[in-house]
Amino acid sequence: MANNEQPPDGGREASLSDESSADGGGPSRRNFLKGSAAAGAIALGVGAGAIGSASAGIPTPRLHRDGNLIKDPDGNTVTLRGVNIADPKRLNLTASARGKDAVQTIDMLTDASNGWYPRTIRVPVQPVDIGEYEPGSGPPVPAFDEDQLRSYLTNHLDEVVQRCAERGVYCIIDYHRHRDVMWAEGQNGPVNTELQDEVDMFWDVVAPRYAEDSHVLYEVYNEPTEPGMWEDPTTTQWVADIWDLWLEMAQPWVDTIRGHADNLILMGSPSWSQSPEGALVEEFDGEDIAYTYHIYPGHNSSRAQDWEDASNNGEGVAGVYEQAPLFVTEFGWEEGGGQYIGGTDEFGTAFLDFLEKSEAIHWTAWCADPVWRPVMFDRPFAENVNDSIGDPYNGTIPETCEDLPCEWSLTTGSGGMGDDVKDALEQYRNDGIPGDGTVRPPTDEPTDEPTDEPTDEPTDEPTDEPTDEPTDEPTDEPTDEPTDEPTDEPPADAMVVDDYDGDPGWSSHRNDLGQWCGAGSFENGGGEEQGGTLVLEYDNGGWFQEQINEDVSDYSTLVFTISGANGGEEDEVLFDMGGVRTMLSNVTDDSIGTSTSEVRVDMEAAGIDRSSPSVRFNFWQGGASTLELEQIHLE
């Protein structure tokens, strides 16, 4: 659901059955944990969020299904809670009006110092935005071609997936289609093969791209719509017939994903994903599949505050999460929001309690955005600025935020959901996390190798080269090296982040500290390593990152050995390190010249948090040029 497009009611018959919790009844886990928090629950350590503000990230190992539970590789039960963001391309293209781009949004939502503790972020990938259609419309089928999809992934989704890994949160990639007729003719099929082919192409490209990312989950199709399983006649046979058509439509997508990747799969249901009980008729074929459930205040079951009613096939939602993991990937409320999303804390408090009835229930609130409704944030712009900011392809984007990011204020009070969702995330921050329950920096690729590499390389290289070379070749080396190295090499006590000499190779995504590095959205892809230089060609796009992920408080200066095709590129590069995000020209007195020189950043004077930083460049501010990086080091 996006841009205030709401599903039909769903026509559920509201029943008042009193289902006991999966724990056997009694107080909900929400109330129990509320008491535990008041008594002094375990405090989260501020982990090593790789960029920006401190992130109390969790380990994000690959997850699997075990009965109705989600578990980590060691068999620990995991319960994920989090939020949705807007489409990352939409965020990036409307950042000047919205106040934040996609990465800035994730940074804010994972800022532990400000009380944010999501364990997953759902990222809606909209065919509307991939193919650049008017927002709010149901785009044609197919909505995009493969080149458009790959461009979208490279320019917008890749960095979001990577930032989630850095911040220690799981990332749900949601293929966010809705308002579509699933069947080509009538209510009994056959399936819409053109739509089937579009979605299959999407997953054929996306599934292998993030197959090795243990923190990524795949939500196959946001909200299948017509015909709904709630339409007359709502009988057990009707539900079974519609579900069989859905299996025929969507099983090929599951097969495509499984042909490429083992990531956990989330499956929706016809009727806007309001009827997960179809899974009780027959589950999809494949390993590690969970089912999704979307619910808002205007739906009949919500008005009865009975989300487990024995609807359709006589089993109800409770029967689903007793059999399979249930991901409530959309819910929310907004006072005055209209027929379906309009609601208050009366709905919100009761629904948040329902979500804690079982550790088999996982959730992501919709939506951590000031525009997509129901909103969790007030708009950071004048009220006369309307939804044209959500129309980056046909409308005018007003320049309302001169310096990004602009602050977003949580919605509060009886009709605002922002503070309630944030409080719930903080309350459950230690509940159902992977591992032994200890919160620590993410254990994804960037943090698996820091204890070996950073300690071996800094001690080997500075001690081997100065002592071995002068003694092995006493006549040549002592006279040549002292004159060359002061200008070509960093000081002996410097920390070399990356020297782009091919060892390790840039394509291996490892720098000289053994940490992750990478880039994307450049005219030359992810950058090219050429003879000791990393070449980055940009044209109003691109991102570059080098992780450090250790305390560098003993170093005061960051040094780039760099040149530019035009000179003066420091005015076109957004610099991002240790909580400081500003133009590079604002943190250095040096300029990038057309010949190689050093550009130095006084980290202490700039206010950079050096406890566990990474270095990032962003090139979406305009301008076109080529940078050649020969080295990054700390002095």
| Distinct helix (H) and strand (E) counts, the chain | 17, 24
Question: What span, in angstroms and rounded, lies between the C-alpha atoms of 611 and 618?
Answer: 22
* 3-state DSSP assignment of residue 337: coil
Contacts of 627 (CB under 8 A, 6+ apart): 535, 536, 538, 562, 563, 564, 565, 569, 573, 592
Domains of the chain: 29-446 (3.20.20.80), 450-634 (2.60.120)
Do the bridges between strand 81-84 and strand 361-365 make them parallel or antiparallel, or are there none, so unpaired?
Answer: parallel
Query: Cβ distance 151 to 520 under 8 Å?
Result: no
DSSP annotation of 154: I
Report residue 427 as tokens: 């309350």
Number of other CB atoms surrounding residue 318 within 10 Å? 21
Distances (CA, A) of 237 to 129, 230, 241: 38, 12, 6
Query: Cβ distance 120 to 82 under 8 Å?
Result: yes
Please report where in the chains the tokens 């405090």 appear, as a residue. Answer: 43
Q: Cα dihedral sign for 33, 34, 39, 45?
A: positive
Q: What is the pLDDT of residue 302?
A: 57
Number of other CB atoms surrounding residue 392 within 10 Å? 21
Question: What span, in angstroms and rounded, lies between the C-alpha atoms of 224 and 10?
Answer: 13
Question: What span, in angstroms and rounded, lies between the C-alpha atoms of 267 and 254?
Answer: 9
Report residue 167 as tokens: 């911040």
Report residue 211 as tokens: 């197959």
Residues in the chain: 635
Q: What is the pLDDT of residue 305?
A: 54
Fill in the amino acid letter for 425.
L
Report residue 109 as tokens: 């939502």
Fill in the amino acid letter for 121.
I
Residue numbers in the chain where pLDDT is lower than 70: 1-55, 137, 186-188, 227-235, 300-316, 380-404, 436-488, 621
Distances (CA, A) of 409 to 97, 332, 417, 429, 507: 15, 17, 12, 22, 41
Question: What span, in angstroms and rounded, lies between the C-alpha atoms of 450 and 515?
Answer: 7
Q: What is the pLDDT of residue 301?
A: 59
Query: Cβ distance 101 to 576 under 8 Å?
Result: no
Q: Please, what is the end-to-end C-alpha distance for the chain in angstroms?
A: 50
Do the bridges between strand 120-125 and strand 81-84 make them parallel or antiparallel, or are there none, so unpaired?
Answer: parallel
Cis (ω within 30 of 0) for the bond into 139? no
Q: What is the pLDDT of residue 508?
A: 80
CA nearest to 191, candidates 179, 200, 182: 182
Q: What is the pLDDT of residue 482?
A: 37
CA nearest to 535, candidates 596, 490, 598: 596
Contacts of 281 (CB under 8 A, 6+ apart): 239, 240, 243, 244, 313
The pTM of the full predicted model, rounded to 2 decimals, is: 0.68
Secondary structure of 155-197 in HEC code, one letter for each residue: HHHHHHHHHHHHHCCEEEEEECCCCCECECCCCCCCECHHHHH
Instruction: Report the interhelical angle of 102-109 vs 158-167 (nearest 10°).
Output: 20
